[in-house]
């Protein structure tokens, strides 16, 4: 949950162009990560949910790398 909230704050500082492109993707992916965590905590066999979580985290990392390379972040350390 903290990651999703943090991205909401960081994306607010993006330029208009990046806010509505990469920023939207970062915000959406960070929110998509919360559900598998909640589901994994609720079930006994966590493997399926953890695989879903891993895939979504990989997708988020790709978007983060693109945002870094395009200099969408004012300060990359703001993450």
Of 75, 36, 78, nearest in space to 57 by CA: 36
Mean local confidence (pLDDT), 52-72 = 92
Domain ranges of the chain: 2-74
Q: 2 with 65: CB under 8 angstroms?
A: no
Query: Would you say the pTM of this structure is higher than 0.75?
Result: yes
CATH of 2-74, one of 3.40.228.10, 3.40.50.970, 1.20.1440.60, 3.40.50.150: 1.20.1440.60
Q: Which of the four pLDDT bands, split at 50, 70 and 90, describes residue 58? A: very high
The rounded radius of gyration (Å) of the Cα atoms in the chain is 14
Q: Please give the pLDDT value at position 36.
A: 87
In whole angstroms, give the CA distance from residue 26 to residue 60.
7
Q: Is the pLDDT of residue 79 over 80?
A: no
Burial 52-64 (b: 16+ CB within 10 A, else e): bbeebbeebeebb
């Amino acid at each position: 949950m903290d990651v999703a909230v943090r991205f909401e704050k960081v994306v607010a500082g993006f330029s208009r162009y990046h806010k509505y492109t990469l920023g939207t993707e970062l915000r959406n992916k960070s929110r998509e990560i919360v559900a598998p965590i909640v589901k994994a905590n609720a079930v006994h066999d966590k493997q399926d949910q953890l695989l879903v979580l891993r895939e979504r985290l990989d997708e988020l990392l790709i978007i983060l790398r693109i945002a870094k390379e395009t200099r969408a972040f004012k300060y990359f350390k703001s993450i």
